[in-house]
Structure 1
């Protein structure tokens, strides 16, 4: 071990030689391995279990990453870089921030407990700096590519400087390379000339259930190189490379190159004697091999054979230092799962843990005294501990600033309502955006739209004509240049504000998530607006949930929706998306029926996306053109934002009401006209957000049990105008359960209409009649309710 310099005053930078840096990082790597292992052991073995359930954690998955993360965080990482950490290495990330004095012992002692360190790194739940939440396999990898694209967008628009740009880095296990969304992302990255992105693979060749297929050797390299990535493979550490240069070394190198993954794992677990026996059997008669192997005792031989590139600090530093350009890079670091632990290489080690005797033996090997397990540098002596702390404190990552507090974008008090006696909500949405695009509003310059190859059919075309496609290199519109008439005049340039994506909804939602994190990540707020066919929200639901979980802010527009998309048939007709809107945390959903509702809700959404405690917003729209309603005043607007308003006030206590949502407004209004003379005081309730109504009602109910009950919820106030025996017919083009719960508010009898089976092709009269969404169905349902009342 080199002689390390004593620490100087805190404000005096310490210069270390390469050898000193390697030794210090080696010590840090061992400490990260210990702290992550102890954190998991404490949660599963020492901490009281009141429910009898396994707490969990991944000691082996942490151990295979500690050298990579030590070299990255305390050497290669710059303050402007951002990292998505392999989910199962979350405890290592917390150990790193513990060494940086940004994590507390108390939270680590509560690992996977209430208020403690989360199972996987979380932007919204953990107290340490977390750039990207990870946990849903693969998504924390792909989002870094889109974050790099967002960074390029901001630079091109003059909203950040080139010299402020950082690398977007993903640390992943090799099993994540089985995730299809990674390859969808690769294709999109190639289209947009991806740069400043590193993906570092912990290539331990073990997943939860099995070892990695041997046939994948060199396939990952081929795939990534084809998409323009540089591939750096770190298979051998310094000790192995030195051994390969000795007599017999070439035979040893060739044997390692062809050793099956499962064999390598099993031999690692069995140890030095097993390595020797196998090597002597396979290559012992080759020239120089016996002498080479004989120069190592069993412990040294085991160390040599597991000295892979991903565990060799010097090899990692050389690799990181060489990657000094903008080219996207896949770094494949060969590792051993469970490296340095007694369960290294065992095929069951993914969820396996060291027993008490094993972890106490590891503690003793590190000279950590019983009771000192949580000490940052226990067992290392005061001088070395001080040197290590000074090294950690002077690392570039220690100077990383807290996330940015981006200033709010000024908004108009109102957005103009598109003119037209008859309109669809989808068309109204497009007109509002187009009017903004032509305006000088500050909001207009911060809008960025995106769609998965449905820009035209979701009414974004006028906005794109006005503001252009985003490309770092200008791309001419060939059709426009040769004067072929087209409604699309989509010039592509650095000032463009629309990011066109291919047909991959997972990419779409990850792009929205990255755009919606521009404020905390880069200090510049964007207003992302993404459109997708409403039924295909389900294709990217995992990525949508991922974006909401890390509090990304965007406006999602699902359109067209329901069986109202008549000619497209069942595969294109959404049924359960109202329930997705109701059930998805971090997402406020609306289903407007009229153009003025669209303008109102879009304005509210842009305000809510910037608010403390705000969220993303989802609008479910339709292509159905309907007659607009005349308004006497704006008194309805506050109720509409809260989730519902009386389009026709009931005369109370009313005997009945019709509650409708979205596209079926004409049928509900026609049924009301037909019934109003026969049912005194009949009300007509326009439900604009089942989501906000239900959330408000549920919160009010829950508050009663905590002693914090306030006034009645919005829906309780509205339905309070009905008599206690009143009947309620609910109708929407979607799952009837999105509105049927209204009967539970005051105990009213409900007849819910909606769609709960796949649609089919047809025109609207046929489909609405077949699926009982027409005015006759509403009238029949009301008659049944009144008959039940007697």
Structure 2
């Protein structure tokens, strides 16, 4: 019913042909009623039971059913087959599926666990642990499936290959030829994009202005709007949202491109009298799936693999609450990776402390950790609009011009702040994972600090720099970490090459290149778990001190949350001062005074365990 409801073509292959003459006698539906009443465990039991047991316990429940098999021997009852093991039924179902048009087909086939193993495992719970068969079990398997191997050969359990001119081998070769050859391969029919709309991205590399505060969620939506207006790739953009689109400020797209509906607008929306009303259309471009991340991810996979399946370079942007991605649909994301899907997954309202008042259910401090597990997924946590522009532009080029089999995860926030202009020469660093955002103008007096920020916590890092320089005379450089995963993978790759190539010139990681000649202390702050910066700590000149949001989320203001998780500018400054004191560059009294001056509660519970 579930599959038929949306218009699917469902073919059931439940019972084999040996059941047909029995079912033909079932004029009153008693047999079908019995079939539906029997449980899965009952059917598993019948699989391994003698015909006498089947006659008594299955057919013997009422006289009308028992009479249907009175002319069947017990051996014949044992051979009553399930539909999935009847080659003629399976072929008929497959033929019907191939010939069906206009709707997807699902074949539901009933089979037996461990079919063909006989006493060794057919219909038994031990089937998955069965590693080998003894000689007698092998003989029974051979005889059952008509495999021409002698008793003398069977003890060696040899492979059997039919003769080249046998019907089986001819059929297999014909099918492989029809499928394109003996080795499975993906045929990409989509042609690379001719050009990328550079002007769209240039707009986001400029400063927003001192009075205009913009959230990065707004940036990505505005960028989508611009991309969809582009004459070259506009029709290829597929915005996907698993919630009310207004959650992510996407209402501006309603009037521009509309929400896709196969039947169009069948009702008058409650906001019909507003400029940005809820517009549904048959040619709508937004896929608003309702509250189903799984359904939305399925749409993402369909659009992200269209370059291969349909020869169309559709570019999906799947925007969702970042907490509800990897945790809810990690298996589908893994499937997307396995299918060499392309596109952009955008984790909105990201970070543990940016979504004020939403509590532990929504506050994401772990999605970038999950991203590490997906080999061909690029994961970025940008802080500024120009970083997003560089990442998205590079992603479109790599996926849709260069043909790289990768896809992207980008986190964006709903916190508004002034967006700076892009500094010169930072594009490469943004893509590789880090770059120096600001250099100190103070003279290095032996107490240099390097602060590393990203995403939601970048502004806290910048404020910490002001405190350290103006309040304590500590020269402080600020680095933007756009991707811990890129840095980690690059460092591991250099490490691996050096291990496997002794005697060759050693390769340096990108982190090592950036940190060459740098001294001082190193402090990283993130809106994710401390283990995120910890993953690259080994590649710095000195240990990297990590501040992060370990623990459950809380419902409170951003300021209170960042204080609670100890990632606000005060805790960042204290971490830097503490490291300077630990190295003997300042005295510990300075740190103690700073803690008191900042009003930090020394006795507060550890947020990671409360």
Specify the TM-score bucket, using the shorter chain as the normaliser: 0.7 to 0.9
Cα distance in 2 between the residues matched to 1:361 and 1:614? 47
Instruction: Indicate how the Cα distance of structure 1 residues 229 and 732 shifts in structure 2: closer, same or farther if over 3 A, else same.
Output: same
Could you say if the C-alpha distance between residues 408 and 454 of structure 1 is closer, same or farther in structure 2, counting changes exceeding 3 Å? farther
1:270 deviation in Å?
A: 3.1
Moved more, 411-420 or 668-677: 411-420
1:698–1:411 distance in 2 versus 1, CA, 3 Å: same
Shift of 1:509: 2.0
Distance 2:458 2:272 in 1: 43
Match of 2:348 in 1: 559
Write out aligned runs for 1:92-111 (5 A).
none
Q: Which residue of 508, 512, 520 corresponds with 2:296? A: 508
Q: 1:372 to 1:776 in 2, by over 3 A?
A: closer
Q: In 1, Cα distance between the equivalents of 2:24 and 2:226?
A: 70
For residue 453 of structure 2, the aligned residue among 648, 660, 679 is 660
Aligned to 2:321: 533
Say if 2:46 and 2:54, in contact at 8 Å, map to a contact too: yes
State yes or no: 1:368 paired with 2:149. yes
513, 538, 542: which one aligns with 1:744 = 538
Native 8 Å contact 1:557 1:621 kept in 2: yes
Maintained 8 Å contact 2:215/2:415: yes
Contact (CA 8 Å) 2:59, 2:66: kept in 1 or not? no
Does the C-alpha gap of structure 1 residues 462 and 398 become closer, same or farther in structure 2, counting only changes over 3 Å? farther
- Check if 1:308 corresponds to 2:93: no
Aligned-residue offset at 1:300: 3.6
Deviation of the 1:583 alpha carbon:
3.8
**Post-superposition offset of 1:464:** 4.3
Query: Given the two structures, how large is their TM-score scaled by the length of structure 2?
Result: 0.81
Deviation of the 1:741 alpha carbon = 4.3
1:238–1:454 distance in 2 versus 1, CA, 3 Å: same
1:135 maps to: none
Deviation at 1:460, TM superposition (A): 3.3
Partner Cα distance (2:14, 2:426) in 1: 67
8 Å contact 1:284–1:290 — kept in the other structure? no
Q: Distance in 1 between matches of 2:273 and 2:510?
A: 54
- The runs of 5 or more residues in structure 1 that have no matched partner are 1-221
Structure 1 residues 278 and 595, CA, compared in 2 at 3 Å: closer, same or farther?
closer
Match of 1:755 among 536, 541, 549: 549
- Give the corresponding residue for 1:53: none
Partners in 2 of 1:247 and 1:436 — Cα distance?
63
Q: Which runs of structure 2 are paired with 1:639-788 in the superposition (5 Å)?
A: 639-649=429-439, 655-676=448-469, 678-679=472-473, 681-707=475-501, 710-723=506-519, 726-788=520-582
Equivalent position SS for 1:475: coil
Matched, 1:334 2:110: yes
Counterpart of 2:307 (choices 512, 516, 519) is 519
CA contact (8 A) 2:366 2:528 kept: yes
Cα 1:454/1:261, change in 2 over 3 Å: closer
Tell me what 1:417 maps to.
203
Asked if 1 retains the 8 angstrom alpha-carbon contact of 2:22 and 2:69, the reply is no
Which whole-Å CA distance do the structure 2 matches of 1:758 and 1:488 have between them? 37
Helix, strand or coil at the partner of 2:127: coil
After superposition, the Cα gap between the structure-2 partners of 1:242 and 1:353, relative to the gap in structure 1 and judged at 3 Å, is farther
Q: In 2, are the aligned partners of 1:477 and 1:491 still within 8 Å (CA)?
A: no
Note the alpha carbon deviations across 1:210-267, whole angstroms, 9 max, x for none. xxxxxxxxxxxx4444554454433433222124557999987776565544343323
CA contact (8 A) 2:261 2:280 kept: no
Q: Which residue of 2 aligns with 1:234?
A: 13
- CA RMSD after TM alignment: 3.3
Shift of 1:721: 3.5
Q: Secondary structure at the match of 2:546?
A: strand
**What is the match of residue 356 of structure 1?**
134
* 1:638 match: 428
From 403, 415, 436, give the equivalent of 2:186: 403
The answer for the alignment partner of 2:361 in structure 1 is 571
**1 CA distance for matches of 2:316 and 2:64?**
66
TM-score, length basis structure 1 = 0.64
Offset, 1:782 = 1.4
- Deviation of residue 669 (structure 1)? 1.5
Distance 1:721 1:470 in 2: 55
**Other structure's SS at 2:496 match:** helix
Structure 1 residues 709 and 543, CA gap change in structure 2 (3 angstroms) = farther
SS of corresponding position for 2:479: strand
Give, in angstroms, the shift of residue 754 of structure 1: 2.1
Structure 1 residues 535-614: aligned runs within 5 Å: 535-537=323-325, 538-562=327-351, 563-610=353-400, 611-614=402-405
Verify the 8 A CA contact 1:235 1:333 in the aligned structure 2.
Answer: yes
Residue of structure 2 equivalent to 1:626: 417
CA distance in structure 1 between the aligned counterparts of 2:113 and 2:277, rounded to whole angstroms? 53
Relative distance call for 1:604 and 1:289 in structure 2 (3 A) is: closer
2:436–2:479 Cα contact (<8 Å) kept:
yes
Decide whether the 8 Å contact of 2:358 with 2:555 is kept in 1: yes
Instruction: State the Cα distance separating 1:780 from its structure 2 match.
Output: 1.5
Q: How many residues align?
A: 552
Match of 2:588 in 1: none
The whole-number CA distance in structure 1 between the counterparts of 2:280 and 2:27 is 63
Q: 1:709 to 1:351 in 2, by over 3 A?
A: farther
User: Residue 206 of structure 1 aligns with which residue?
Assistant: none
Assess if the C-alpha contact under 8 Å between 2:237 and 2:316 holds in 1: yes
Following the alignment from structure 2 to structure 1, what is the Cα–Cα distance between the partners of residues 428 and 174? Answer: 54
The answer to whether residue 224 in structure 2 is matched with residue 433 in structure 1 is yes
Query: What's the offset of the Cα at 1:657?
Result: 0.9
Please give the secondary structure, in 2, of the residue aligned with 1:460. Answer: coil
CA deviation digits over 1:578-608, x for unaligned, max 9? Answer: 3223343221111111111111111012122
